[in-house]
Chain A
């Protein structure tokens, strides 16, 4: 059996706080967008969504700072040389190998806890989509101070579309993410790791 301590306490706290804020934003956002008054009444959803948005900004900054200082940042470095090969191997495993009992193409270690697909999607989400989501959210908050039109189109309209599209993509990420974490050695290997910090496997590779 192997065991690596891969998720330090601050990272675990950040992750679950972040997940909580994100789910709150998603539920309030959906109920505002589709006016699902049975889910959360509009006038309740608005202040919650705004507050959670501000909190998410703080949470995101925490993540960036933590990765700069805490050493966790090394897992987010993409190895461009091996990326295509790793990605193909990982994708083949999810689409085929996993159903025929093929060995996992990636081995978790203290140096590399995230496989190529994970690294790519986490980098895309945390340094691509999240900043756009947060910035467009703040732009919404201060839309009255922005110019009326941008490129001849209403500014609020542009902000709304950006915010909406990115939110859709992050909702999609959440679905895939929640499922992919069950593809460890056992369905709960990764979940336990994110709770206890320890990544434990029976086989040693």
Chain B
């Protein structure tokens, strides 16, 4: 259903492209049809490109050679069925998502630089051996963040040590949509997005009582509010900016409830500190202190309420003790006066 006729040489449309069709009349008819579609297509793309240009002037997709690519790749149905695996390979580029991605300034050919001048393409991205780490190093001067440290973490992760087949950066990250957490996103959104990446492959965990998580009370509630990574990466050496790429094996992952359910939780500080700082800038300190995103038992996310509670209890104990002592004194006085 997702297979695009353009990419399947057996389909009727490809017959047109190859120019192998029958009679001259049929060819003429088809040409007329093609001219019509092409002009309609040009109009519609021009319109949407115009709108796009207003929001993101620098978008790499608007560069000359990218436009050629996007003539086909903007289509949502742009895909083909891989003959070997039988899987549907999506070739469509979501322009909106690309515009908001970290790579939005890049033109298609900035990464896909070989073998795309012909149609059908003689290469596929799988053969290109695209290297995120190297590319980022080469373009550090253009502002590409260095990924070497992250790569070292990644090399220690189960995804590498367990030699998962065909695992690469692209298994988790789509370079056409990748973007950092934005200020407007709620914890739930951030969590849903990151966990979605894990669950895309780990579909065996999509059960009410997920394998290996039997010890965890209410797993679904947990998965809605914390990232898999919060437990499945090492506690040491965490930084606020991004999660570690050293994804731990099940037996090495954190299973201690109090790592999260405690004041100044080490596991969640990354997820929450990041958010709180942003939200504070947006909403102001007090609004943020009162209306926190989520309440976590043990994290005491509202300290002043605890102080009031403890204070009142303490005062009451003192009051009651004083009352009792005064009663005792009165009682003793009466005894002695008798």
Q: Which residues on A are within 8 Å of B, measured CB to CB?
A: 32-35, 37, 41-43, 46-47, 94, 98-101, 143-144, 148, 153-154, 156-157, 159-161, 164-165, 168, 171-172, 175-176, 179, 182-183
Contact = CB atoms under 8 A, between A and B. Distances in A.
B313 A46 contact: no
Given A100-B330, A168-B312, A171-B313, A144 B300 contact: no
B295 interface: yes
Contact of B312 (A153, A164, A172): A172
Given A33-B298, A157-B294, A168-B312, A179 B324 contact: yes
B220 A144 contact: yes
B309 interface: yes
A42 B257 contact: yes
Contact of B326 (A32, A99, A171): A99
B188 A172 contact: no
A164 B309 CA distance: 9
A175 B320 CA distance: 8
Interface of B: 188, 217-218, 220-221, 224, 257-258, 261-263, 291-295, 297-298, 300, 302, 305-306, 309, 312-313, 316-317, 320, 323-324, 326-327, 330, 334
A154 B297 contact: no
A51 to B, nearest CB: 12
Given A32-B261, A153-B291, A154-B292, 16 more contacts: A33-B297, A33-B298, A33-B306, A35-B261, A41-B258, A43-B257, A46-B217, A98-B327, A98-B330, A99-B327, A154-B294, A157-B291, A157-B292, A161-B305, A164-B305, A175-B320
A42 B295 contact: no
B145 to A, nearest CB: 33
Chief secondary structure at chain B's binding surface: helix
24 contacts: A33-B298, A33-B300, A34-B300, A35-B258, A37-B258, A42-B262, A43-B257, A47-B217, A98-B327, A144-B220, A148-B188, A154-B291, A154-B292, A157-B294, A160-B297, A161-B302, A164-B305, A165-B309, A168-B309, A168-B312, A171-B313, A172-B312, A172-B316, A176-B316
B257 A154 contact: no
A175 B319 CA distance: 11
A43 B216 CA distance: 9
Contacts of A144: 218, 220-221, 224
A153 B317 CA distance: 34
A47 B188 CA distance: 26
B123 to A, nearest CB: 46
B300 A179 contact: no
A57 B221 CA distance: 23
A35 B324 contact: no
Contacts of A37: 258
Contacts of B323: 94, 179
A160 B316 contact: no
B298 A160 contact: no
A65 to B, nearest CB: 31
A33 B302 CA distance: 11
A27 to B, nearest CB: 14
Contacts of A34: 263, 298, 300, 306
Contact of A154 (B220, B258, B293): B293
Nearest to A144: B221
A32 B316 CA distance: 23
B309 to A, nearest CB: 4
B261 A42 contact: yes
Which has the most chain A C-beta neighbours within 10 Å: B297, B300, B320, B330?
A: B297
A35 B262 contact: yes
Query: Which 3 residue pairs of A and B lie closest in terms of their CB atoms, listed nearest first?
Result: A160-B295, A35-B262, A168-B309
Contacts of B297: 32-33, 160
A138 to B, nearest CB: 14
A142 B188 CA distance: 18
A15 B305 CA distance: 30
Contacts of A43: 257
Contacts of A175: 313, 316-317, 320
A42 B258 contact: yes
B263 A156 contact: no
Contacts of A94: 323
A168 B302 CA distance: 14
Contacts of A101: 330, 334
Contacts of A32: 261, 297-298
A176 B312 CA distance: 12
Contacts of B218: 144
A154 to B, nearest CB: 6
A103 B317 CA distance: 26
A42 B313 contact: no
Contacts of A160: 295, 297
